């Protein structure tokens, strides 16, 4: 299992488009830990990205008023 394949599986699962066939393949042919690590990093980066986006919008709104 390549790192790219793990990223693809995590992204598909996060957006709810992971097929059950691919899900079964992932967890019968590899360990759980790579998915846990990549999933956790994705969630952390997603939340930080949202925080930065909202802060940028709020600052732009304050400066435009």
| Interval 2-59: pLDDT, tens | 888 889 889 988 888 888 888 888 888 888 899 999 999 999 999 999 999 999 999 9
Cα–Cα distance for residue pair 25/6, rounded to 1 Å? 12
Whole-prediction pTM value?
0.76
Return the pLDDT at 65: 63
Environment class of residue 15 by beta-carbon count within 10 Å: exposed (0-12), middle (13-18) or buried (19+)?
exposed
The closest alpha carbon to 3, from 43, 40, 30, 27, belongs to: 30
Q: Where are the domains of the chain?
A: 3-64
Cα–Cα distance for residue pair 7/12, rounded to 1 Å? 8
- The continuous run of DSSP H or E covering 20 comes out as helix 20-29
């Amino acid at each position: 299992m390549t790192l790219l394949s793990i990223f693809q599986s995590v992204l598909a699962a996060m957006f709810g488009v992971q097929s059950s066939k691919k899900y079964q393949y992932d967890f019968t042919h590899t360990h759980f830990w790579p998915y846990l690590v990549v999933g956790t990093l994705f969630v952390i980066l997603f939340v930080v990205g949202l925080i930065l986006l909202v802060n940028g919008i709020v600052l732009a709104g304050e400066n435009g008023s």
